[in-house]
């Protein structure tokens, strides 16, 4: 056993482990000072790497995980908070530290930004309070600006995150959604058809993983399911010719699901059959879109403002009017379903979005003008605060691995490059 302690200091036995094989060191127990912190552990790991890897030349920064959470205090304080005996050998996992996102560009709009979604590493779709739907390059160049809606556009989504030719959808407080078709890289975008069925403003839209269906929710408290196909044929439930929006074709919902008592604030597809919604009625509902019924319901204490489902961790993040982000495991059959609460924002948290490549990382934005990058293993403090907004942040988006994007009431969209993907 190697001893890295001072003679008069209390000692703690630890074992350093990692899943990143290129940074592996011998997993023999070590004796370290009980008050060792992440800075000292970084020095220790880099020293061991230089001793065991002759080609390891440049020191790197690591984060350390003990008892399932990132170390942010001294080791003895960390163990004491979690009631872990200091008499045992503690496993400490280390991972290369997530680098700080790098500011890339800023896009100025004419009004508040309420919807953002990216596609194919190139194209950013935005919805705006000036009733417009816009396509930009990832470097902030305007490609298309469309004003078919007659009220604010609350949400936008590409039908496929990788294939822009499949079109996109926008939903608005004018009670309609619009399916759009677009010839990639050109200004040739046009409405394909209008989604008509909600009796009040639509706040949110989600696309099924197989890009075949849409789900929308809004102020009429209903969840509606639609076909997402850019086709006009006899398979449509109803296709009537009307004057006005699009080219005259109206698509009505495949199904309407009732159960919420207040505004549906967010909708996420779990898979091609199940949908999760949050609402201002303080509830989270999981729906079976095949059987058209509620599978599960979770009741909270505050109005839910947004949510995000992770296909990697199978967990749900929600934000509320009480300044907290909560992580739920809807599959849990033991103990509480809410597994973790994250605290750092100083106002309502308007938007949250999971990383598409990590089961631990997510992005949040709030009325306190802050955008924060989190690791679920550090609930008391975010990894980074991302600066730039001068007004309320209304939407964050991490649908593309390379870019972390936010938009808000300062009429601007901020693009940050994910250095993990550089």
CATH number at residue 274: 2.130.10.10
Same domain, 91 and 130: no
End position of a domain, from candidates 96, 119, 135 = 96
Question: Do 406 and 326 fall into the same domain?
Answer: yes
According to DSSP, the β-strands at 249-251 and 255-257 are unpaired
What per-residue confidence (pLDDT) applies to 244? 40
Pairing of strands 324-328, 11-17: unpaired
Q: Is the domain of 285 the same as that of 371?
A: yes
Q: ∠ CA(411), CA(417), CA(422), 5° rounding? A: 165
Does one domain contain both 195 and 324? yes
Task: Give 238-262 as a DSSP string.
Answer: -EEE-SSSTTSEEE--SEEE---SS
* DSSP secondary structure of 54-105: TT--S---EEEEETTEE--S-HHHHHHHTT--TTSPEEEEEEEPPPPPEEEE
* Pair (153, 70) in one structural domain: no
- Do 145 and 293 lie in one domain? The reply is yes
The 3-state DSSP class for residue 364 equals strand
One domain, residues 259 and 296? yes
Domain containing 216 equals: 102-421
> Given 62, 96, 130, which residue is the final one in a domain?
96
Same-domain status, 44 and 188: no
pLDDT value for 248 = 60
| pTM (global) more than 0.85 | yes
First to last CA, the chain: 39
Domain shared by 226 and 339, yes or no:
yes
- Total tally of structural domains belonging to the chain: 2
- Both 325 and 301 in one domain: the answer is yes
Residue 85's domain is classified under what CATH number? 3.10.20.90
What phi and psi, each to the nearest 5 degrees, are found at residue 157? -150, 140
The dihedral formed by the CA atoms of 386, 389, 394 and 398, expressed in degrees to the nearest 10:
-40
| pLDDT number for residue 273 | 96
Q: Mention every residue, 6+ apart, whose C-beta is less than 8 A from residue 192.
A: 167, 178, 179, 180, 181, 230, 246, 247, 249
Ranges of beta strands (E only) in 310-400 are 316-320, 324-328, 338-343, 349-354, 361-366, 371-375, 384-386, 393-400
Alpha-carbon distance 174 to 361, whole Å?
35
What is the three-class DSSP state of 297?
A: strand
Q: What is the four-CA torsion angle of 301, 307, 308, 314, rounded to 10 degrees?
A: 30
Domain boundary among 51, 80, 96: 96
Backbone CA torsion sign across 335, 379, 106, 154: positive
- The answer on 133 and 148 residing in a single domain is yes
- pLDDT averaged over 10-residue windows placed end to end, the chain, 422 residues: 53 95 93 96 97 92 96 96 92 96 95 97 96 96 97 98 96 98 94 97 98 98 97 50 54 97 98 97 96 93 96 96 93 80 96 97 97 96 95 97 97 94 68
pLDDT for the residue 376: 97
Q: Are residues 324 and 341 in the same domain?
A: yes
The pLDDT of residue 241: 41
Distance of CA 9 to the CA centre of its chain: 44
């Amino acid at each position: 056993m190697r001893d890295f302690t001072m003679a008069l200091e209390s000692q703690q036995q630890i074992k350093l482990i990692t899943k990143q094989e290129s940074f592996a060191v011998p997993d023999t127990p070590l004796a370290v000072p009980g008050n060792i912190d992440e800075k000292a552990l970084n020095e220790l790991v880099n020293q061991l790497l230089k001793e065991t890897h002759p080609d390891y030349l440049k020191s790197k920064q690591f984060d350390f995980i003990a008892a399932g959470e990132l170390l942010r205090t001294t080791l003895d304080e960390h163990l004491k908070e979690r009631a872990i005996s200091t008499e045992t050998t503690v496993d400490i996992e280390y991972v290369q530290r997530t680098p700080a996102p790098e500011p890339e560009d800023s896009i100025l709009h004419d009004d508040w930004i309420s919807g953002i979604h990216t596609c194919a590493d190139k194209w950013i779709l935005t919805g705006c309070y000036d009733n417009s739907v816009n396509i930009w390059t990832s470097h902030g160049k305007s490609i298309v600006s469309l004003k078919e809606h007659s009220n604010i556009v609350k949400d936008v989504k590409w039908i496929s995150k990788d294939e822009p030719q499949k079109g996109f959808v926008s939903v608005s407080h004018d009670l309609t959604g619009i399916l759009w078709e677009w010839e990639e890289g050109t200004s040739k975008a046009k409405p394909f058809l209008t989604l008509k069925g909600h009796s009040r403003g639509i706040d949110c839209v989600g696309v099924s993983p197989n890009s075949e269906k849409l789900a929308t929710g809004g102020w009429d408290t209903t969840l509606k399911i639609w076909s997402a196909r850019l086709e006009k044929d006899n398979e449509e439930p109803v296709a009537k010719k009307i004057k006005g929006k699009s080219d005259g074709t109206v698509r009505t919902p495949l199904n309407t699901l009732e159960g919420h008592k207040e505004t549906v604030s967010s909708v996420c597809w779990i898979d091609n059959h199940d949908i999760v919604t949050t609402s201002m009625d303080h509830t989270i509902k999981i729906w079976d879109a095949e059987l058209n019924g509620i599978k599960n319901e979770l009741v909270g204490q505050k109005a839910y403002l947004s949510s995000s489902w992770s296909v990697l961790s199978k967990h749900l993040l929600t934000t509320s009017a009480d300044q907290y982000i909560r992580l739920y495991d809807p599959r849990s059959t033991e103990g509480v379903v809410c597994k973790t609460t994250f605290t750092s924002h100083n106002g309502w948290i308007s938007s949250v979005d999971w990383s598409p490549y990590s089961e631990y990382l997510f992005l949040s934005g709030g009325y306190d003008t802050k955008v924060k990058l989190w690791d679920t293993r550090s609930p008391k403090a975010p990894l980074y605060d991302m600066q730039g907004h001068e007004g309320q942040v209304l939407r964050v988006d991490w649908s593309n691995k390379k870019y972390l994007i936010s938009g808000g009431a300062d009429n601007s969209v901020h693009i940050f490059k994910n250095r993990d993907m550089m």
